[in-house]
Structure 1
């Protein structure tokens, strides 16, 4: 042990190749990292496997780290050390955290994160909800903020039964904005109906495209949130009223977006992309400050992340397989330090 009471080394999952193979994610013994100025060291209690993590390990995400690297874009745990005097105020506190994209991630027993990317957790927020504090909640908030600022009076979204989709549904309900929810299975439609969704369209049913178009035209839908890409982007674009916008924030289909050029030429449709990293990158204005005030109040209440499984680092192969199999069923979490944080 070091004089600070921390171990010298830790267990971590290291990615050795961007090929998506289970054997390319290896349990490794690494030195416990030391926080620098403005940073803290977090003993990780929980770290989720998000779609962005699944893309990262396959080399398909917008960030690529030099290998070997520890994945994991977000997590939660207790701050156990600080690299500067100001950071000592967080020592002993439970936080949700996001490490810098250039540093090792949260799929480890310990992780270093900037103070500004650590949010103290309220007692009512458990480790799993705290570990899912950033990626989905802030994305949902930022997407809905675009709907507010654009004064859109009705919305449509794909992958509506996903965790982020359910968060968008909750926000739309709070804003009293009609939202058309696209799903692909009957049980997903039933799930959303129980959550109060009024407009649900199943993409696996006959005449899906026409049903979607009619519903969106009736409601005057002018903004679409697309997590799927592929042909779905074109379905959403065609359904929008003239001048509408599709915002693509995911690529679950792993296909290129397909939209007929007539949507742009004759109907004034627009296609945009959204990446949460860009929402916070290089600027910290009123939108970011409002998000930092609003989101913590929503997490664990309106923003609830369903938990499907909690697994140790040793079960990485099984964890990734479960996480990729059915995202509607809930999120899979690593618990690097067992049940104690």
Structure 2
């Protein structure tokens, strides 16, 4: 089979190449998925630099999520149940990923796709939509009424904004460029601020005070958690779920000590297993009902594995335009 193989944790430009590998075989509790579509995510770039929460023995196939058809199954009732079905699938933490024609993964890392859900939307179900679902649920369970988020123009940021407002939260959206302000306001967002504005910090503080913001979702890291805390009231909380700046989080300790503020991390790969298989499948099926609306993934290109490097260059230049989908099989599955 064809696959993209990572030889070293030096990033995709130096460590990744297109190779031929044997088709893997599923063991007990595992399934073999013929991959139809697999997105390129920021998490994949972090993984290929050795900056992710999981590292694997090299060489390995990257790609943390995708969609496809289960074509072989090992022992176990759920693995057998999935045989022949279209699924959204997550890569194992100790094996090859979705940037290949085939992948073996534990059956409990797969969710059946409804007939009305496309392979393209199903391929991006397990990271961004799940993260949006979890973060909005976290805010609501914590009694927060208004939330500010960074990286709001990206695919995940737009999901968090739409789902948050549907669930009754007031959302304040932070972006980096004027055209991203235009994008979100054009889509209907009421509160959009850009870090390029010279008075950004003052405006952020004023808006957070006016709307009663008490929680923040941050995908940037670096100095951003501290800037968010500076705009938030006592006992406010910043949830860091990404590091687009590739920088260490910086926080004034006085905010933690004297204002009783808090910074915590969130990783959807650790959130999903807490609910067990029934809970994961239930959440996955509920999310599929919203893939054509609040949780729809915008897609800017669909490319075969041979053109993956072009696609990654395109994605790095403009992540807000939508996902790059790698199509190892060359065509979508019939529904």
TM bracket (short chain): over 0.9
Q: 1:75 to 1:293 in 2, by over 3 A?
A: closer
The correspondence of residues 135-174 of structure 1 with structure 2, limited to 5 A, is 135-174=127-166
Residue 184 of structure 1 is matched in structure 2 by 176
Please state how far the C-alpha of 1:289 moved relative to its aligned partner: 6.5
Residue 118 of structure 1 is matched in structure 2 by 110
For residues 76-98 of structure 1, give each alpha carbon's deviation from its aligned partner in whole angstroms, at most 9, with x where no partner exists: 01111111363333222211111
> For 2:290 and 2:113, how far apart are their aligned partners in 1?
12
Q: Is 2:28 the partner of 1:37?
A: yes
Please state how far the C-alpha of 1:251 moved relative to its aligned partner: 0.3
Q: Taking structure 1 as the reference length, what is the TM-score of the superposition?
A: 0.93
CA contact under 8 A between 1:242 and 1:269: conserved in structure 2?
yes
The correspondence of residues 144-293 of structure 1 with structure 2, limited to 5 A, is 144-281=136-273, 284=276, 288=280, 291-293=283-285
Residue 61 of structure 1 is matched in structure 2 by 52
Please state how far the C-alpha of 1:266 moved relative to its aligned partner: 2.1
Greater shift in the superposed pair: 113-122 or 157-166 = 113-122
Residue 313 of structure 2 is matched in structure 1 by 321
Residue 19 of structure 1 is matched in structure 2 by 10
Unaligned runs of 5+ in 1: 1-9
CA contact under 8 A between 1:247 and 1:271: conserved in structure 2?
yes
Residue 3 of structure 1 is matched in structure 2 by none
> For 1:40 and 1:271, how far apart are their aligned partners in 2?
38
The correspondence of residues 302-317 of structure 1 with structure 2, limited to 5 A, is 302-317=294-309
How many pairs align? 332
SS at match of 2:51: coil
CA contact under 8 A between 2:64 and 2:91: conserved in structure 1?
yes
Please state how far the C-alpha of 1:123 moved relative to its aligned partner: 2.4
CA contact under 8 A between 1:309 and 1:331: conserved in structure 2?
yes
> For 1:50 and 1:318, how far apart are their aligned partners in 2?
15
For residues 118-152 of structure 1, give each alpha carbon's deviation from its aligned partner in whole angstroms, at most 9, with x where no partner exists: 11212222221110010001111111111011000
CA contact under 8 A between 2:152 and 2:173: conserved in structure 1?
yes
Q: Taking structure 2 as the reference length, what is the TM-score of the superposition?
A: 0.94
Please state how far the C-alpha of 1:286 moved relative to its aligned partner: 8.8
Q: 1:250 to 1:85 in 2, by over 3 A?
A: closer
Unaligned runs of 5+ in 2: none
Q: Is 2:65 the partner of 1:74?
A: yes
Q: 1:290 to 1:120 in 2, by over 3 A?
A: closer
> For 1:287 and 1:78, how far apart are their aligned partners in 2?
22
Q: 1:262 to 1:285 in 2, by over 3 A?
A: farther
> For 1:91 and 1:338, how far apart are their aligned partners in 2?
21
SS at match of 1:298: coil
CA contact under 8 A between 1:54 and 1:320: conserved in structure 2?
no
Q: 1:138 to 1:21 in 2, by over 3 A?
A: closer
> For 1:229 and 1:78, how far apart are their aligned partners in 2?
37
